[in-house]
Each structure stands twice: as structure tokens, then as C-alpha cells.
A and B are shown apart, each in its own frame.
Chain A
């Protein structure tokens, strides 16, 4: 309780509140503009937050992370174009509702479900935090190594249907983390004699290239589009309460969101898949899913919005980011020499509570903002996409160049920008590269530290948590293989679907 009050006190400073306001409103706008998602915005703003206090910087980034999905549901429902990648599923049921004249109801349900998902997940985590404070110190080097390995395994198998490409990209990420001067024996690794590679490949440069510049290149090369949508008439706040008629789905979405957020490497898509499948299986009208089912819409939006708060758990408690956005946030900690991990929950629980209170406040702020300004937002998002590409490149420059004023950094980011463009055009994920880079670095350090006490391979898993995680890794791989064999029968033939570029992989 003392920590909770102290956390509220930390939050109640003008700088933090201002950052929260800017992050949450900015996040909604950014999320609502198709083509710019939270990853693009966070990547660009990351270097600018390094000069801020850790709580101020993190609050702003969390604000963007937590609110972008609210904004992203607006174009998903009204114009059938998801604002962010995790709103792609929302288009399935949201847009058909708009077409049959239920735009207000669809928007209200989406915002209401997002709000319920966000709030329930934060409350669950506030209640869970004291437990986590007790469990986190049980994680030694072996357990953290295994948790990071679990993250890598999961990020690969979570990309069902693209596992080989995801595996190859994750391995590439691990390689990127090893480039440069090896910190213990000072040998050069994969520098090919280039001086600029001796200090390694900077994570932020890669992030900016893969998320921001690639999106700029992608938009600049594609045909111009300017989203147009009809105005929404009616009281959105009243429409939001409609979600309480589907409490079961909203609660299931929040539950899956929290679970999938906590487990590293999984994230929003798997949470949405599980909730959507559960909702459809238990629905009285499963045939409506994909044709404007309010339950489907609630499943999608409650699950994705429950993830951000939960995703902070492995980051704060173990120092392991579970997806790209928390991987970016990890660098904010590193810049301030704050190493997240078990100690943070034990010694700075107030800091953790302050972050959760910020997220709670953020959801309230955002729901008021979207309730009042959806029609205004609809006008803001009508920026033509190629013009938007120009703006992303201009902003991407600030992100990369302000790091070290290095032209080489910009060139490296450009190379990753082109790689990101190719991956996005191929509907392939960029996230495994980032997670491979971050988790690969953690795995190398932790494996080396843990092997000092390991004599036989079984010693590695002789502690209960290590054994559980190792068992989970083996089990997940087996379940994945079994699932792939089973799904092969259900997979649609190659000529039964399109081969277009889809938004569910884009920033």
C-alpha cells in the first residue's frame, strides 16, 4: 500500500502528467493514421526521450503504446483500413457493421472493449505485482537464459505459416547482437575489418531502419491513397456501454491479452487469435463472425488492448522484452543505467506502480478523447499516403541522426529500411530480428554466467523454475509440430486466397 501511494506521488509531477497527455493523445492520432503505428512513432521518439527522466520518457512511450490501438480501430471500422497492424482483425467485423449502418455501435463497442481490456489487465497486474516481487528473485542466470530462449522459440512459432522465415530472421537478429568487439576476450566478430562494425550494430539504428524508414519507403513507392470516411452521428459514450452486454467475451479477451502479454515472444496477434476462436466457438451465432459480429469485434479489441500492460511484466521483472515495443523501451532503461530485473520489483515497486497508474490514467484520458473527437480524427487521418511517407522519412532522420550525428548510422538504418520494406512487402515479420537482437545478447551473457556452476546438462534444470521453463519450451515445440500437422488439413489451397500485401505485419 505504501508503495502504491509512493507510486501515485511519483506520477503526480507536471512533467510526467504532461508526457502522459502528449503520449496518449499523440498515440491515438498516430494509431488512427493508417501507415503510422506505435512502432514507427516510438522508434522516432526514442532518442529524444533519452534526455528525459526515465519515468517521463517511459510514460510518454507507454502512452503511445497503450493508446495507438484505440485510434487504430477508427479507420479499421469506418474505412476498412486498420490504423495499426493489431487492428487488422477489427476490420473483419467492424467494417461490415459500418456498411449496415451501425458505425456508431461498432466504434462504441471497439472503444468500450479496448477500455475494458486495458483497465482489467492493469488491475490484474497491480494485484499480481506483490506476487511477482516474490517470484522474480527466484530467477537466476539460468532461468533468465531459459526465459529469453522461450521468447525466441515463441516468436518463431507464433508466426504460424511463416515459421521458417521467422526462424531465419530471429537467428539473423542474434547474429547482429554478436557483431563487434566481444566483451570478455576482445576478439572481433563479423566486423570484416570495418571500423564502424567494431562497436557493434546499434539496436536503435536497426529499429529505426526496420520500423520507421522502411514504412517511409513503402508508402513512397506505393500508389497514393487518401482514406475517406463518413461522419459518425450520435453519442459515442453511450455506445461504449454496449460492451457490458458482452462481458464474457471482453473478460476472456482481457485474460488472453494478459497471459499472452506476460509470455515473451507472443503478443497481440496470438491473444486476438485465441480470443476470437474462443468467442466464435462459444457464440450462438458463429456464422456472423467475419460478417459484422459484435462479439468478434469485442474479442479483437479487448485482447489487443490488454497486452501492453502485461508486456511490461517480463520487461520490468526479468529485463526480458517480449515484443518489439518493449524491446525499444529497454533501451530507455539502459541509457539511464537502470537495469530492469528482479531487483526492480523488490526495491522499486513504487516505480512499477507509477507505471501502472500511468496506464490506468491513460486509458481514462484516451476514452474521453476518442469519445469527443472521433469525427475530428477522421479529418486528420485523410493525409495521402505518399505525403505521409515523406513525413516519416523526415522524422526518421531526426531519430537516427540525433543519436550520434553519424552518417554511417544513417546508412546502416537505410540498409535496414530497405530490408524492412522487402519484408513488409512479403508479408513477413520484422519483430523476430529485434527480439533476436535483444534476447540474443541477454542469452549470451546469462548462459556464460550460468555455466560456471553447471557440471552436467541436467544441472541446468535442477531448479524448479528452470525445469518448468525448459519443459515448456520442449512442450511448445512438440505442440507446434502437432498443430502444424493438424492444420495442414484445414489450410486453404494456394489459389483460394489473394497474394496481396496485408496490413497485419506493418508498423
Chain B
């Protein structure tokens, strides 16, 4: 019979020590700030204290993170810790792509920004050839039409739309694209 951990293969990975350490440092930082960030009030019962639950949570984080770190220290070291951390850092590039997209939408408008984002990111991810570009553009247009055109989710019109000649076309673009 396999154990739960074996059945779902939830094994430790390189970087376990690092994440446990970061987690404990973060929890300790929160604990140090507890008195100033969640003050204990006078003449208020313990369970009604605004600081009670943040206190429970932060102490919980410190205790569990410390145990996690202890577990990581006494366990066998798995090679590849730094390579794993590098992978985390690499992901920041795509976080930057995402935030650039967020920044672009109110300026260029939803449809143009989405087309720029999908096509450029597709190229960045290593896909070449007109089929991929077309696929990315069609997908971007589809998303805009479904969410803004059909479901009418709240996404503001781009600033550049103001430069379009006033009339039904501008209204259409501002409402649906």
C-alpha cells in the first residue's frame, strides 16, 4: 500500500530549504511588526481585540515555518537549489510582460493592447511563422469580443480612442472594443 504522499508524489524539491527560510524570515518580520501594525487595545476582551486574529495567524506562520525549516535542515540535501531559485527569478520577466499589458490597456484601448500583447508574447515564447502570429491575433480578438463585446465586462476605453472622429464608429469602438 502506498502512503498519501507516495500516491500523489508530493515530494520535496530542490529549493525546499530556501522557501522555508524565506517563509520564516517573512513570518518573523510580521511578528516584529505585530505591536505596531495590530495594536492591543485597553479595556477590550481578548477575543474582540483587533490584534487577536493577526496575532494567531502570525504566530502560526512563525511556528509552522520554523518546523518546515527544521524539517528541511534535517532532510537530505537535494542538489539544484540555486538552479531552482533562478527559475523563480526567470518568471519575473513574464510578470513584467503582464504589468506592461496592464499599463498599456488604458492608453491604447483593450483590443489594440491585447493584439500587441498576444502577438509579441507569442514571438517571445519562441513561436515563429505567420500561423502562430495569426493564431495569437485571432485569440486576442476573440477574447476582446467575448468579454468586452458580449459579456460587457468593465474595461475602460483607451485614451487613443478619443482621437477617432466622433460618430457612431467611435461609440461602437468605445463600447465594444
Known: A394-B143, A418-B91. A89 touches B98 (CB 8 A): no
The 8 A CB mask of A198-227 against B (1 = contact, 0 = none) is: 000000000000000100111011001000
A172 within 8 A of B: yes
The B-contacting residues of A in range 415-451, CB under 8 angstroms, are 417-418, 421-422, 425-428, 436, 440, 443-444, 447-448, 451
B169 within 8 A of A: no
- Looking at chain A's contact residues, is the secondary structure mostly helix, strand, loop, or mixed? helix
Residues of B within 8 A of A405 (CB): 106, 154-156
- Sort chain A's interface into a size bin: 35 or more
Known: A187-B39, A389-B125, A425-B15. A490 touches B3 (CB 8 A): yes
Residues of B within 8 A of A187 (CB): 38-39, 41, 50
Residues of B within 8 A of A272 (CB): 7
- Sort chain B's interface into a size bin: 35 or more
Residues of B within 8 A of A421 (CB): 88, 91
- Bound Cα distance A501, B84 (Å): 11
Q: Are A164 and B50 in contact (CB under 8 A)?
A: no
Q: Are A427 and B95 in contact (CB under 8 A)?
A: no
B5 within 8 A of A: yes
- Bound Cα distance A162, B9 (Å): 11
Q: Are A161 and B4 in contact (CB under 8 A)?
A: yes
- Bound Cα distance A308, B97 (Å): 35
Q: Would you give the shortest CB distance from A490 to chain B, in whole angstroms? A: 6
B32 within 8 A of A: no
Residues of A within 8 A of B47 (CB): 447-448, 451
Q: Would you give the shortest CB distance from A494 to chain B, in whole angstroms? A: 4
Residues of A within 8 A of B156 (CB): 405
Q: Would you give the shortest CB distance from A152 to chain B, in whole angstroms? A: 9
Q: Would you give the shortest CB distance from A390 to chain B, in whole angstroms? A: 5
- Bound Cα distance A323, B147 (Å): 27
Q: Are A440 and B53 in contact (CB under 8 A)?
A: yes
A499 within 8 A of B: yes
A185 within 8 A of B: yes
Q: Would you give the shortest CB distance from A505 to chain B, in whole angstroms? A: 7
- Bound Cα distance A179, B12 (Å): 31
Q: Are B76 and A495 in contact (CB under 8 A)?
A: yes
Q: Are B41 and A185 in contact (CB under 8 A)?
A: yes
The A-contacting residues of B in range 96-149, CB under 8 angstroms, are 97-99, 101-103, 105-106, 114, 117-118, 121-122, 125-127, 132, 135-136, 139-140, 143, 147
Residues of A within 8 A of B58 (CB): 171, 175
A280 within 8 A of B: yes
Contacting A191 at CB < 8 Å: which of B37, B114, B143? Answer: B37
The 8 A CB mask of B69-110 against A (1 = contact, 0 = none) is: 001000110101000100110111011011101110110000
Known: A168-B68, A410-B102, A418-B95. A182 touches B50 (CB 8 A): yes
Q: Are A189 and B121 in contact (CB under 8 A)?
A: no
**14 A-B Cβ contacts within 8 A?**
A51-B151, A171-B61, A175-B58, A178-B54, A217-B91, A281-B1, A394-B118, A410-B102, A411-B99, A444-B53, A491-B6, A494-B75, A497-B9, A499-B80
